[in-house]
Structure formats: C-alpha cells, structure tokens
Structure 1
Amino acid sequence: MIVALHEGFYGASSGTGFSNRAFLTALARLLPVGRLAVITPHLPASSGTRDPRWTAEVQHMLKQAEAEIITIPGGHAAVNSVHNCEQLCDLVGEVAVRIASRSGRCLLIGLDVPFLGLAPYTPPAMELLLIPRSTAALTQPQDRNRVRWERAGLRAATTRGGRVGAISRHMRGHLIVSCGLRRSSVVEIPNGLILEETGKPSAVLPLPFPARGGFLLAMGRPVPTKGFEDLLTALHILKDQGIRLPHLLLAAATPDAADGPTPYQDRLASAMHEFGLDATLITRFSPAIRSWLHSPALRAVVVPSREEPFGRVPLEAFAAGAGPVVATSAGGLAQTVVEGETGFTSAPGDAASLAVAIRRAVTVMPRQRARLVQAGTALLRSRHDYEASIGSALDRIAPWALAPIPAADSRAR
C-alpha cells in the first residue's frame, strides 16, 4: 500500500496535516509490518514550516512499521498551482510504479487535493483511492481552472475503477452532486481522531496572560471561509449589549511568520482594534496551541466557519472535555455540533446568530455544560474513531492489504 501526502509528514498548518498524520498512524497499525510505503515532497530542515519534533515522531512511527519512505522534489511550492500539482502527480506516479513492480497488487492512496490528478500517471492495473479533504469548488469557486482540474482528476480516477473517500456526509453529497461522481465510486471514510489524539498533549503552550482568568478559543487557517470576521462582529454585538465576555484567543495562524502577517490577519487585527475587543490574535501556528483545549480557564470553543468539509476542532474539544462548543451549521460541522445536544449552533455567515449562540455558551449552567461535554465525548467514541473508519473502508475495498503476510514471504523480507 502506497500513500502520497503533502502535509502531515513534516508538520501541520491546518486540520489537514493532523488528519493526514492520523491516517498514516492508523495504517501503520492496521497493515502487516513492511506493507506500507509513503511518498512525500521533500522539505529541507532549514524550512521555517518544518517541525523537527513532529517530523521525528512521524519517522519513528513509520520505522517501527518498517514502512518505506520516499521523498521527491517539491516542498510547499508543489501545490501552488495546477501545473505544480500535475508535476507532483507525475513524480508520485513514477515512484509508485517502481514500488508496485515489487508487489503483485498495489493500492495507491492520494491524500488530499494535490493528488487528485494521479490517474493519468499510473497504470490501469494500479488501484486508486483519492481522499480530498476539501475542494476548490467549496473554498475557491472563483478559481475555475483549479475547479475543472480537480473534477477532471476525480472523474478520471473513478472511470478506471478508482474510489474516492468521503470524509463526511457533506463531502459525500458534494462529490456526488457537484463533482458528478457515481455513488458506487464514493466510499465513506468518516474523519475523526485516533487514540493518541484523545489524551493530554505532551507539549503545552503557556496561556497568554490576559487569558488566564478565562477565555474563548477559536483557531484555524487565516482565510475568509473560516468566518473569523463573523466571530469578531458577533463579539462586538455582544459588547454593545453589555454582555461581559471572556478574553478571546484567536489563532488564525500560518506556519511561517517570516514574511509577517498576511493581509487577512491584518484585517482581523484592525477589526479587533476598531471594535475595542478584549482579544489576542495569534498569527504563528504551533501544534501546541491545541493544548489550550485542556485549560481549566477555557470557557467555550468557537468554530465560526462559513464552509467546512468536516471540521476537526469540535472533536478535539470533545476529546479534551472542553466546552461548550459553538459552531455554525456549515458542511460537516452539522454532524458533530448538534444544537442543544453537543453544543450551540448558528447559521453560517450570520454574525447576529453567532452572537446568540456565544451568549448561550458563556452563560450556560455547569450541569448543562457537563451534559454537552458528555454527549460530545460519546459521539466522538461512537462515530469518529478514525482508525476504525479506515480499517472498515480498507476491509471493503482492499481486504487483501490487511491479510497477514505468509510466513515464507516474511522470512524472505
């Protein structure tokens, strides 16, 4: 089994990186030893976006599984354009063919958008599974060139018998309706957390001083679809209503701060100043930001996304026993944050609606908060065990990959 990934091997700057690492970890446990190969673009040690600790942990985990690791040219520039994605798919296809030549059967898994164009660069006998964690049609509909490329790649893969993994019911509907894929070609692989992600993190980031008396937490990539401007407007509405609010920690962060804040981060900082909000903007990403979910000073987690194919943050909050969770009903969030059951919800892009949900969260009684957290934890365990989801999907589409290696083959290896 070969896995091609772009983010998650050397570090993470978004939920995609965390999900990809979890996917690799699950495969390393599910597959017989020595049956996994990983292909990823090389990222030099000097890169500001490479996390040494993260990289060492992933490499150690793969070494224990006796996985083969192949790096190819590219780095982060590999996904900057459709042309670069095509080159990346070409390189991955070439390497995958060499690996597959040593095996009687091979499944090539392309994790996320950069690998949706793999079909033309691999032989028809090679089985394909593509797992898009989002699409340009959802997040960048104005980029028609990328939308066309992604849809063409998905259709080319399924036409030759490949499968496409749906990380949520929302994504399944999008793949079938918007991308025109046959239902039989879409396999459900619900996103979730693996066991390691449900405990307390080993790396803890100190809380900024203003947050130590109580805080709201929101985090994600600094892009408009994350709805952070809606969040700031909602807090401004509540402030004008005289509602006393905890400090806001807004981690709208990128992994490389060498070039300074992005224009969107500047907009957020300006809105905070204009509204006179009690808030801290974090612009540099660190995986340890997640440790704040375990802080006893946390009053609520807010996920104000305008579009969200899945959304890992609510599950991470449930795993940490954090809450209440406030989220919009955008996309996959509607699966995990259920109004009055696991959290409080609002309409996407509606700051007034979001203000009402936040007010309910910060005024919730302790007993109700405990019920919400308990229900969220139960949902995580029953529906979003990522290793179980991956194992179930592979058992349906590639049971041969999970079969034990015969003793003779094991001795030869």
Structure 2
Amino acid sequence: MSHHSHFDYIIIGNGLAGLQLALKFASDPFFDDKQIALFDKSDKTTNDKTWSFWETGISQWNKITHKSWKHAAIYTSKKNIELNLLPYTYKSIRSIDFYNEAKHILKSKKNIHFILEEVISIEENDVALIKTNQKTYTATHVFDSTIPNEFFNAPSNYVKIIQHFKGWIIKTEKDVFDENKLIMMDYRLKDGNQTTFTYMLPFSKNQALVEFTYFTENLVDENVYDTFIKSYIETFLKIDAYTIVETEMGKIPMTDFPFEKSNSKRITKIGTGGGWVKGSTGYSFKHTEKKVAKIIDNIKSHKTPSENLFKKRFKFYDRVFLNVLKDENHKGEWIFQQFYDKNSTKTMFRFLDEESTFFEEISIMWSLFSWSFIKAFFKTF
C-alpha cells in the first residue's frame, strides 16, 4: 500500500487502457523516477472479457495469447467468404491472463502503486485533485478511463450505436470444432431486421466461445442472447451435447461523440472514455497500444499527452459508416459482406488499423458504393 498522497501520474481504471499505459511507463527508464498510481475499486481477479486483434509477427502479447488463427470465415444469408489472413494472425487474449501478467510486472516496480479505492471526483487546478471514497490525492497529470458525463447527455446529432453481446464458452463431449479457423461474422441467424451476427472462436477441437452480437441503438434482455446462442449451437453447429464453462457480456459504444474534447492540460481521457474504441467496429486492443505509445512520446517531447491521438480522415470514415447503421440498420450484413468480399485481407486490416493509404481507402469506399453510403457521406460532410 502506498503512503504517498501526491503522484506524478495517476491512472484511473485498471482495464485495458490503464494497464497498457502503466506497462508502457514501467518499460521505459525515462519514468523510473516518477511516482505512478493506479486506482480501481476492483482488484481484477476474474475473467470478464476476451480481447481479439490481428497483427503480423511476434509481439509483446505472445506470452499471454490464448489462441491464434490464420484462417477465418464470414457467412451471410447470400455468401460464404473464406479468408486467408496471412501475413496477419488473428489472436485472442483472456482478460484474466492480461490482468495477471500486468500486475505481476507492475508490482515489481517500486515507483508504481496499486490503490484499491473508488474515485469519486476529479478537479483540475494547478494540479489535479482526486477524491476517492477514502482519501484525497493530487497528481501532476491524470489519465482517466471513466466515460464523461457529457456523453450520456449528448445531443441527438451524435450517433450512438451500441455493440452489445453475450458469449458462452462451451465444451463438447466430442471433437467438433475446426480449431484452425474462426468465424468472424455469421449473419445467417438474425434478430429481425437488425444488424446481428454470431462470432465464434474455437479454442480447441472441443471448446469454443460462441457469441451473439448486436450493432443497434437499443439493448435487449439477457435471455434474448441466450436464446440465439442456443439456437446457433443447435442449428448451425449441429451440437446437442455440451457444457457451458464460462459466460461473458459486454457493451461497447460505437459513436462519433468527440470524447477528445474532454482532454485538458492535466487530464487525459483514455480507453472507452477517451474514444479509443474504433467507432465503426468496436475494436480497441491495437488502437489502445498505439495511443499509449503516442502518449509516451508526447510526454517525453514535453507536449500535452493527448496531442494528435486521432486521425481526422478515419474519424470521418467511421461517421459515414455509423450514419448508415443508424438510418438503415439492416444494411450491416451487406456492408460487411462487401467489405470482406471485395478487398484483400491486407487492405482491410490496414484500413481498420488506420494504417492504409488514401488509394486503399478509395478502393474500400468504392466496394461499398451505394445510395445508402452516398446519403451518409453527404450527411456526415
């Protein structure tokens, strides 16, 4: 337990963004003389989610990668698309493995402190003032992962799609899964005229995560997810004997809300609360890694930590996509079918990673050319 009441940096929230940022601080000798604290009301001892991402080559996450794949499939009501992901590998990490590895590394650093308290408020003066349910602290800079209140009270001109889902990790009596190929999206089972799909990660020949996902403005009761997952397992996987090992649920905002406007001289919003989730897809793992690296570079260059964290043209693309989903939610299946069918894997992943060239982006936009996108383009513009 720390006896400090003032820190150079305070990180609020020990989730993906907070721990990735702390790990980056810990790995750079530049910050060895800085006092850093991580605040969270939870000690992160349960597996509450699964993160998936793609990358080329070996990375810092290989040690805790639960499973990886080089092949994927997209199923729609009209087409089956097989994807060879090379030169990329699709990887999955269990959150508990990430939490445990991060805590193991960070607790070995004498200048990094875990404080198990709930943050009640943050005020910005000459320093940042942080009040918890137990004490008051100060910091030179705060990295805050909580979603700003302004988001919940935002005017209706901002798009607010929610990616919400529930997943079952099931274990079967027999070997039934092709463990070398994930199902990225399966649109054959749908909830009415909405963008819904099933996502499946086969961890072994007899164990897999089966998840039913919505890209909609409204949530559903938990039993609705269960009904569709059960139906998918029985109808499409043809499995009648299995055990539910674990479950997970999640809600991810897919929005064009300008989270970055909440950043200031002494407070930087991070993670979901900072708009780090890619608006058009909900992916966050690799985007978090890049934004954390940019924050570190900014600090070492004596810049405001949040400077140039976002690329404007990709935010524009996301807004166009979100406007289509808002106005014509049923178009989701067609959009993703065109996207994955008409473009190379390398081009798609570079685009989603915001590393594509302008000519690659034109090619992708052309593959999605339709009256829906024309309307959304001018609406966004």
Query: If the length of structure 1 is used for normalisation, what is the TM-score?
Result: 0.37
Query: If the length of structure 2 is used for normalisation, what is the TM-score?
Result: 0.39
Larger strand proportion of the pair: 2
Higher relative contact order (CA 8 A, sep 6+): 2
